[in-house]
Amino acid sequence: MSKYIIEGGKKLAGEIAVSGAKNSVLPILAATVLNNDINTVFNVPDISDLKVMIKILRAVGCKVDRVDNIVTVDSRTLNTVRIPEELVREMRSSIILMGAMLARCQEVEVSYPGGCEIGPRPIDFHLKALKELGAEIEESHGFIYCKGNNLKGADIQLDYPSVGATENIMLAAIKAKGTTIIRNAAKEPEIIDLQNYLNAMGGKIYGAGTSIIRIDGVDHLNSVEHTIIPDRIVAGTYMVASGITGGEVVLKNIEVDHIQSIIAKLREAGCLIYNNCTTLKIIGPKIISPIESLQTIPYPGFPTDMQAQVMSLLTIANGTSIISETIFENRFKHVPELVRMGANIKTVGNVAVIKGVSQLTGAKVTAKDLRGGACLLLAGLAAKGTTIVDNIYHIDRGYEKLEENLTSIGANIRRIE
């Protein structure tokens, strides 16, 4: 297994360009099967989840070419509705193909998805919504069989603003007869990016970024070119890297509006942050202030995908911080690993109480999931001595050239295969 070796205590300084958004590119690549045509996608991050999605697209017959950060998908050659089980189990986001395949082929066969073990992420919302559009769904032996010969627009009320369910409905309803309304829709920037992609393809979708999205079904979709938005979680992770090391880092290729909740909490911790629309400078404090209360909630609230990284910062704050995780029930798996490094953290249910210590110390720790792995890497940047982070394949799922970027701004980090 690959691992990171980190020598802590280096103050970071320099510039990093933020890559395209993982949580945007995956549903957009799933959408390439819709148009039976050519799709060109720019600003695609070089991450392992993206590689799995490309394998899936090739497995169902699409022709996929990648040159640097540009991916071209020719979906005219799609020839099967069965998505390989071994690939679905590698990546939970693959479930997003259900809606797109239903719209294109009127049927799909997929196994239950895999991915990070951060607690139950039921796909009940997805299946319930697809049924409301007219899909017939059978579940047996770990597989889901969907048929939808005559999908029709529906008025769908989501019990929870699920990002994946919102995306699956958009993909399935784009060619359904009539109008679909999604109420209590997810508002994340990635939803807006998907809408922009689908509309450039010829879709008629309105309201992304609000709680109500309208989809007017169309008969034909055309070829499309699209540029993926910057990754707000990658940006936030580098912001914490600057904060935890007392650094001075400039981030380029960002959307400041997408990271306002992260900016607010890091300012609360004492970071100085200056920005325009696409560039941000963050200066870490000499003394990190505790955050009295941080609660993860759906966008535009503080993202669950940044909870672990900010926790690493608060382990060396001058006081006590409280984090409430309301999205996923098992998203504190990084806590025992931080404790191995000298952190003082107690958890009760979905609440973590972090009493700041003066210094973390290097230790051998293990990444249990994507963002928890990033958290341990950040802790290692600030710790005294050497930190070894195992199982970094989790980190590779969401970060492009992480060690190269951090090394370029002064970190002492190397990768051992």
CB 62 within 8 A of CB 105: no
Same domain, 177 and 252: no
123 is in an annotated binding site: no
Cβ neighbours of residue 349 closer than 8 Å, sequence gap 6 or more: none
Q: pTM of the full predicted structure?
A: 0.96
Same domain, 314 and 359: yes
**Of 64, 109, 105, 111, residue with least CA distance to 92:** 111
CATH code, 133: 3.65.10.10
CB 172 within 8 A of CB 132: no
Domain boundary among 177, 212, 227: 227
Cα separations in angstroms, 111 against 89, 107, 173: 8, 14, 22
Domain boundary among 203, 227, 251: 227
Same domain, 173 and 302: no
79 is in an annotated binding site: no
Half-sphere exposure of 90 (CA within 13 A, CB side): 17
92 is in an annotated binding site: yes
Distance (Å, whole) CA 224 – CA 196: 11
- The active-site residue, picked from 62, 116, 146, 375, is 116
**Which secondary-structure segment (H or E) carries 73?**
strand 70-74
Same domain, 208 and 257: no
**Of 172, 166, 255, residue with least CA distance to 207:** 166
Domain boundary among 227, 250, 284: 227
Distance (Å, whole) CA 320 – CA 401: 34
**Of 66, 53, 55, 45, residue with least CA distance to 92:** 53
Is residue 116 among the annotated active site residues? yes
Taking only the tens of pLDDT, the chain with its 417 residues reads 799 999 999 999 999 999 999 999 999 999 999 999 999 999 999 999 999 999 999 999 999 999 999 999 999 999 999 998 888 888 877 889 999 999 999 999 988 765 455 444 468 889 999 999 999 999 888 788 999 989 999 999 999 999 999 999 999 999 999 999 999 999 999 999 999 999 999 999 999 999 999 999 999 999 999 999 999 999 999 999 999 999 999 999 999 999 999 999 999 999 999 999 999 999 999 999 999 999 999 999 999 999 999 999 999 999 999 999 999 878 899 999 999 999 999 999 999 999 999 999 999 999 999 999 999 999 999 999 999 999 999 999 999 999 999 999 999 999 999
Residue 300 burial class via C-beta count within 10 angstroms: exposed 0-12, middle 13-18, buried 19 and up: middle
The boundaries of the domain holding residue 365 are: 3-19+230-416
Same domain, 159 and 212: yes
Same domain, 219 and 359: no
Lookup result for tokens 């509309």: 199
Tokens matching residue 47: 């991450």
Distance (Å, whole) CA 302 – CA 241: 18
Distance (Å, whole) CA 172 – CA 211: 18
Domains of the chain: total: 2
Residue 275 burial class via C-beta count within 10 angstroms: exposed 0-12, middle 13-18, buried 19 and up: middle
Same domain, 312 and 394: yes
Same domain, 204 and 252: no
